[in-house]
Amino acid sequence: MQRFRDEYQSIHDFTDRFLVNCPECHHCATVQPLDPAQNQQQPAVWRFICGNCAAVKVLGDRPVRKQPSPTVDPYFHYPLWLQASCCSEQLWAFNPEHLDFLAAFVQAQHRESRPHTIHGWSNRSLVSRLPKWIQSHKNRAAILKTIAQLRQSLPESSAPDITRST
């Protein structure tokens, strides 16, 4: 029986890389920090790069504008690559790791949650903030089918290691 244990991950745990639709060639591209090891206290320099058409853009120290929608990256505002209509809603993920998280949650027969050691019962975790339509067992088959279709759209270099346990 599959079990999901809420480890109090937040949406920010998946914001180190965004797969987006390249505005030039409409293939999968990446938005990520220019230096992933950069100190979080300093403004990060973010880079958009498309491996298909070689488009590159850099966004420096200027402040990030408010993200207009969760279905675009928060820096360049390009549409996310991993998004599809599902159950009359929009299912989206920032990257393959985020998609794996959603799949693990949705396919689990048992979902465990316990009080956080510091914050107690709170809605700080991503699980507690997932929309009701994703949490609903009645949508499980449709959501898993959509997740499988999104995985098929991943380019080889972006695919996660499927041997990794979730």
pLDDT digits (tens, 9 = 90+) for 102-147: 998 899 887 766 665 665 656 667 777 789 999 899 999 999 999 9
This prediction has a pTM of 0.82
* Whole-angstrom distance, CA of residue 38 vs CA of residue 97: 21
Number of domains observed in the structure of the chain: 1
Q: Kindly compute the dihedral angle of the four CA atoms of residues 82, 85, 87, 89, in this order, to the nearest 10 degrees.
A: 90
Residue 46 has pLDDT above 70, yes or no: yes
**Please, are residues 131 and 26 in contact by the beta-carbon 8 Å criterion?**
no
Whether 104 is in a domain gets the answer yes
Does residue 125 belong to any structural domain of this protein?
Answer: yes
pLDDT of residue 143: 96
Q: What is the pLDDT of residue 35?
A: 76
Examine residue 117 and state whether it is found in any structural domain, yes or no: yes
| Structural domain boundaries, residue 80 | 3-158
Say what the pLDDT of residue 39 is.
52
